[in-house]
Structure 1
Amino acid sequence: MGVIYRMKFLTRTIWLLSLVSLLTDLASEMLYPVLPLYLRSIGFSVVLIGVLEGVAEATAGLSKGYFGQWSDRLGRRLPFVQWGYALSALSKPMLAVLATPWWVFAARTLDRLGKGLRSGARDALLTDETTPATRGRVFGFHRSLDTLGAVLGPAAALLWLALRPGDYQRLFLLAFLPGLAAVVVTLLVREKPREPSPRPVRPFWATFSYWRQAPGAYRQVVGGLLVFALFNSSDAFLLLLARQRGLPDATVIGLYIFYNLVYALAAFPAGHLADRFGPRRMLAGGLLVFAGVYAGAAVARELWVFGVLFGLYGLYAAATEGVSKAWVSTLCARPDTGAALGTFAGLSSLASLVASITAGLLWQWGGPGLTFGVAGAVAGAVALYVALIRLKPVPFQA
C-alpha cells in the first residue's frame, strides 16, 4: 500500500505520455545502434556521420524553441505532441526506400523535425502534471519508460539481424509499427485547459528569443549545460569506437542494450534522489561520471572494460537527462514552460551539431583518444561549475 500511495503522483497523462515515448524510442532505437554500421556499409565516412548527426540535431534544435513558445502562446500542447510523433514515425520506412546519402539525410532530418515539434510541448504537459516536490520523479519516471524502449529496440534489431544478417531495409520497415502505435496512443491523451501565454510568438529565426527574457538563474544553469553540450557528441561515436577496437557488430549492439537497461533502471531513482537532495548534486555527480567514462574510453581495449564503461554511461544519463529538465522547469514561470524547456532543448541540440562535427574532425586528426579526452576534460570542468555556482534569485515561480 505504501508503494501505491507514493506512486499517486503518476497521473493518467504521465502514464500515457511515458508509454508513447517508450513506443517511439523502441522504433527509433531499433535503428540507432545499427545506423552508423549501415552508414559505413554504404560509404559514409566518420566525418560525414558526424555531419549527419549534427545536422539532424540542429534541425531539432531550431524547431524546439519555436514550437515550444508557439504552444505557450496558443495554450495548447497536444497537437504539437501528436504531429511530432507522427513525423518521426513516417521517417522510419523512408530509410527503406533508397540507400543514398541525400535520402538518408532527408529521413533523419524529418525524424528530428518531429522531435523538435513535440519536445517542448510534451515536457510542458509533463510539468503541468507535477508539483515542485514531484518534478524530478515525474521526469525520471518518463525517462525510465522512454529508455526501456531503448532497451527493447536494439534487442529487437539484434534478433532481426541474427535471423536475417544485413537485411537493413526490412528492419527499417519493421520499425514503423511501434512508431505508428505511439501515434495512436497520443489520441488517448487529454489536455488540461490553460491560459495562453501573453508573450507573442517570435519568428522562426528568432526562436531562442526567450533567452533574453529568462531569469538570470535560468541563463546561469542552461549556460553551463550548453558548454558541456558543445563537447558531448553523438553516442554513435562510442559505438564506432567499440567497433573500431575489434568488437563484432552483435557485441556493439549488446553493449548499447546494456547501457540503456542501466539507464532505464536508474532514471526513476535518480529523479527521486534529485527531489530529495536537489538536482544540482545529481547533475554534478552525473557529469563527473561522464568525465570518467570518456577518459576510460580513450584507452579501452577489452570487452569487460567497455562493459563497465557503458554501464557507467547509463548511470550518467540517468543522473542528468530528466534531472536537468526538472531543474530548468523550476527556473521559469509556468506560462513560459514550453518556451523555457524548448529553448534549453533547442540550444542543446544546436550545440550537438558543433559537438558531433568537432568529434568527427578530432577523430580524423588525432584519433579517438583525442576526441574522448577533450570531452571528458570539459565535462569535469562543467561539473565543478554546477557544484559551485551561486544562482541569482528567481523573481517568480509557478
Structure 2
Amino acid sequence: MKYISKTVWVLSLVSLFTDIASEMLYPVLPIYLKSIGYSVLFIGILEGITEVVAGYSKGFFGNLSDISGKRVPYVRLGYALSAISKPLLAIGQIPLVVLLARVFDRIGKGVRTGARDAILSKEATKTSKARVFGFHRSMDTLGAVLGPSIALVYLYFNPQNYLFLFYLALLPGLVSIGFTFFLKEKPGQKSEGNQIQVTSFFSFLSYWKKTNPNYRKLVFGLLVFAFWNSSDVFLILKAKESGLDDKFVIGIYIFYNLVYALFAYPLGILADRVGFKKMFLFGLGMFATVYFLMGSNQNPYLIVFSFFLYGVYASATEGISKAWISNLVPNLEVGTAIGMFTGLQSVATFFASSIAGWLWYLFGAPITFLVTGFFSVLVILYFLFTKITEGLES
C-alpha cells in the first residue's frame, strides 16, 4: 500500500460514501419506474440523456480545471451537487422530475470527474498508475456493495415501499461532502501552450486535433466499445426477466459490485506489470462472454455466473482505461484528456442505451445481448491489431 497516499485515501473515501448514496437507488430505480408504469424504452432513453449531460460536463469542467490549475473546488462542488439531488427522486412519479433529478446528479459527476482523476494521476508515478486508479475504483465500488445492501435490508422489512430510500440516500452523500474538506490544493501550474481555452461549453472537443495519435487511437477504440455498451440497468432487467424476485436481483447486483471491488486493485497492480493493453483485452473478453451468456439462456445459475464475469470485466477495464489515457498525455492536460474521453463516452452510452431499449422493445432481450456481444468482439479485434503505446512518447 506504499503507493497509496493520504490524498488518494481521502478521494477514495469521498467516492465510497457517494457511491453508497447512489447505489442505494441505482438497482431500485428501474424496478421502481417499471412498477409505476414506465416502459423499458423510457428507462433506456432516461439513462442515455443523463449520461450525455454528465459527459459534456466532464469535458467542459475537466478542461476548466486544467486551465485554472485548480482541482479541489471542482471535486467539492461536484460531490455536493450529486448529494443534494437524491431527495428529488422521491417525487419521481412525474417523468420530468425524474429526468431533472438524474440530470442534476450527473452534472455533479461531470463537474468532479476530470479534476478528481487529474489529482489521482498526479499522486501516482507512470509505473503505479493502474494500481492507484484501481484502488480508487475498489473503494468506489465498495460503496456499490454497501448501498444496495442497505436497500436490500430496507426492502426486506418494507417490500415495494421505495420512496423513503430516496431520502435516506442523502445521509451518506453529506458524509462524502464532509470528507472533501480534508483535500488540500497542491501547488500547480496553469495549462498553457498546447492546451485549449474555454470559449464555449463544447470547446474541449478541439483537444482531439491537438493531442497525439496514440491518445486518438486509444480513445477511438474505447468510444466504439462504449457505443454498444449500454447501461447496467439492462443487466438488472435481464435478471428480473429471468424470474428472480426484487431482493434476489438487488442481491446479484451487490455480488457483481463485490467482485468488482475485490478485483480492481489487484488487477491494477497486475496491469502495471503486464501492460494496460493486455489487461484491457482480457476485460473485453469477459464482457463479450457475459453478453453472449445473457443473450442465450435464462438459467439463474448462469445469470449469477455472468454477473461474476461482469465484475471481473469492470475491474480489468474501468480504472485501467483512465490510467492508460493519463500516461499518454502531459500532466497539465490530464483533466481535459480524461474529461473529453468520458464526455464522448457518455454520448456513446446515450446511443447504446437507446439502441438497447429499442432492440429489447422490438425483439426482446436475447437479440439485445447477442448484438452487443458481436460488436464487442469487433472491438477486441481492433485493439489486437492496432499499435498503441502505453506511455507518452518523447
- Compute the TM-score of the two structures, normalised by the length of structure 1: 0.96
Q: What corresponds to 1:147 in structure 2?
A: 141
Which of 254, 267, 287 is matched with 1:257 structurally? 254
Q: What corresponds to 1:356 in structure 2?
A: 353
Which of 165, 188, 212 is matched with 1:215 structurally? 212
> What is the CA-CA distance between 1:367 and the residue it aligns to?
1.1
1:118 equivalent in alignment to 2:112? yes
1:61 equivalent in alignment to 2:55? yes
Post-superposition, which runs of at least 4 consecutive aligned residues in structure 1 deviate over 4 A?
392-397
1:323 equivalent in alignment to 2:320? yes
8 A Cα contact 1:298 1:368, kept in partner: yes
SS at match of 1:188: coil
Q: What corresponds to 1:133 in structure 2?
A: 127
* Equivalent-residue separation in structure 1 for 2:377 and 2:324 (angstroms): 20
* Equivalent-residue separation in structure 2 for 1:265 and 1:178 (angstroms): 22
8 A Cα contact 2:324 2:390, kept in partner: no
Aligned residues: 391
1:368 equivalent in alignment to 2:365? yes
* Equivalent-residue separation in structure 2 for 1:161 and 1:98 (angstroms): 18
Q: What corresponds to 1:189 in structure 2?
A: 183
AA of the residue aligned to 1:322: G
In the TM superposition, what whole-angstrom CA distance separates every residue of 1:177-232 from its partner, at most 9, and x where no partner exists?
00110011001111211000013224103332211111100000010010000000
SS at match of 1:95: helix
SS at match of 1:307: helix
AA of the residue aligned to 1:359: A
* Equivalent-residue separation in structure 2 for 1:347 and 1:394 (angstroms): 22
AA of the residue aligned to 2:219: V
Matching of residues 1-398 of structure 1 within 5 Å? 7-198=1-192, 199=195, 200-391=197-388
8 A Cα contact 2:118 2:334, kept in partner: yes
* Equivalent-residue separation in structure 1 for 2:274 and 2:389 (angstroms): 20
> What is the CA-CA distance between 1:391 and the residue it aligns to?
2.6
> What is the CA-CA distance between 1:395 and the residue it aligns to?
6.3
> What is the CA-CA distance between 1:394 and the residue it aligns to?
6.9
Structure 1 unaligned runs (5+)? 1-6
* Equivalent-residue separation in structure 1 for 2:53 and 2:336 (angstroms): 17
AA of the residue aligned to 1:338: G
* Equivalent-residue separation in structure 2 for 1:237 and 1:393 (angstroms): 33
AA of the residue aligned to 1:220: K
8 A Cα contact 1:281 1:387, kept in partner: no
> What is the CA-CA distance between 1:383 and the residue it aligns to?
1.5
* Equivalent-residue separation in structure 2 for 1:26 and 1:123 (angstroms): 20
AA of the residue aligned to 2:17: L
8 A Cα contact 1:267 1:322, kept in partner: yes
Change (3 A) 1:214 1:375: same
- Compute the TM-score of the two structures, normalised by the length of structure 2: 0.97
Q: What corresponds to 1:3 in structure 2?
A: none
AA of the residue aligned to 1:270: L
Change (3 A) 1:202 1:383: farther
SS at match of 1:246: coil
* Equivalent-residue separation in structure 2 for 1:153 and 1:98 (angstroms): 20
SS at match of 1:27: helix
Q: What corresponds to 1:4 in structure 2?
A: none
8 A Cα contact 1:285 1:383, kept in partner: no
> What is the CA-CA distance between 1:396 and the residue it aligns to?
5.2
In the TM superposition, what whole-angstrom CA distance separates every residue of 1:309-367 from its partner, at most 9, and x where no partner exists?
00000000000000000001111111101000101111111100000000000111211
* Equivalent-residue separation in structure 1 for 2:159 and 2:392 (angstroms): 58
8 A Cα contact 1:333 1:396, kept in partner: no
AA of the residue aligned to 2:256: Y
8 A Cα contact 1:215 1:394, kept in partner: no
SS at match of 2:41: helix
